[in-house]
Structure 1
């Protein structure tokens, strides 16, 4: 898969929590770290996301937010 997004991280789905319209997907990456993504439930179904599935996480700089203690 070739993508224009440069920040690509491979991982494995740990959990998928589906709500009425959205799904929260937790992905374990190298070093045991976990990333969490909120996507539409329809997308989660279309991608067949389930624990154990290998995925590529795409991080676009305009869609990342950071926070620090005050």
Structure 2
């Protein structure tokens, strides 16, 4: 797989919490937990499971931080 994204974080799946249409996938990346919200269909197509190695691919044009 070749991607234009340059922010690829390899880790291991900690949990997959399915909702009505969307799942929250928690990935342990060297002790830091990254959470992705993806469709249930994507979870099924990728065969995601706890303990599996996976990568978080981050492609964003903006990163915002707010306080107060």
TM-score (norm 2): 0.88
Q: Distance in 1 between matches of 2:43 and 2:64?
A: 25
Q: Deviations over 1:13-42 (max 9, x none)?
A: 000000111000000002x00000000000
- Count residues with an aligned counterpart: 68
Q: Distance in 2 between matches of 1:9 and 1:60?
A: 12
- Aligned-CA RMSD value: 1.4
TM-score (norm 1): 0.86
Unpaired segments ≥5 residues, structure 1: none
Aligned equivalent of 1:66: 64
Report the Cα offset of residue 3 of structure 1: 1.1
Q: Distance in 2 between matches of 1:41 and 1:51?
A: 15
Which of the two has greater helix per residue? Answer: 1
Q: Distance in 2 between matches of 1:13 and 1:53?
A: 5
Unpaired segments ≥5 residues, structure 2: none
SS in 2 for 1:61: coil
